[in-house]
Amino acid sequence: MQAFARYGYDGAGVRDIARDAGVTAMLINRYFGSKEQLFAEVVEAAFAPPAFFASDPEALARDAAHNLIALSAPDAEQLGRFPIMLRSVPNPRAAQIVRDALARHVGRRLAAQLPEPDRHLRTELILSVIAGVWLMRSVIQTPELIEAAPERLTDAVSAVIQTIIDTPLDPC
């Protein structure tokens, strides 16, 4: 996962991945068949565990905001699902693999906790807020998001997510 998180799909080579894992490229190709299949397995492993969102719909906004702020802190370990998404989506096939895993795991679990109508739109809006805050805080490192007290950020992000959950979305 680390090579894809650091370099993205296009920048991570099978030889480099094998070297980091202490195996040969031939062994990786034997077990995974190709770099694309290895990437799909890495993305699957990154998104499959139920993390980030509470299982209690009443705590969803608060828990998501708290986890986001903790995971995007300046001193937090930055390798994981967000860097894989950010650095790999320029490749159309890698982007499709990420989209599919995101929808199958994170999106499905989140949507199950959201009200109708438009639970899938609400899901993507919430995921967009999370991705945006993570990008601004972890990658771009904007001063206000870096220097603000974690509790203050958690309150603000929680309010935004709760608004997405609670606000009726008018049909077009």
Burial degree of 72 (CB within 10 A; 0-12, 13-18, 19+): buried
Which domains, and CATH codes, for the chain? 1-166 (1.10.357.10)
Residues near 29 by Cβ (< 8 Å), separated by ≥ 6? 14
Q: Is 12:88 a contact under the CB 8 Å cutoff?
A: no
Q: What is the pLDDT of residue 3?
A: 85
Per-residue pLDDT tens listing for the chain (172 residues): 788 888 899 999 999 899 888 999 999 999 999 999 999 999 988 888 776 777 788 899 999 999 999 988 888 776 567 788 888 889 999 999 999 999 998 899 999 999 888 999 999 999 999 999 999 998 899 999 999 999 999 999 999 999 999 998 876 6
pTM of the predicted model, to two decimals? 0.85
- The Cα 18–Cα 165 span in angstroms is 43
Residue type, 29: N
Using CA atoms of 60, 62, 66, 71 in order, give the dihedral in degrees to the nearest 10: 30
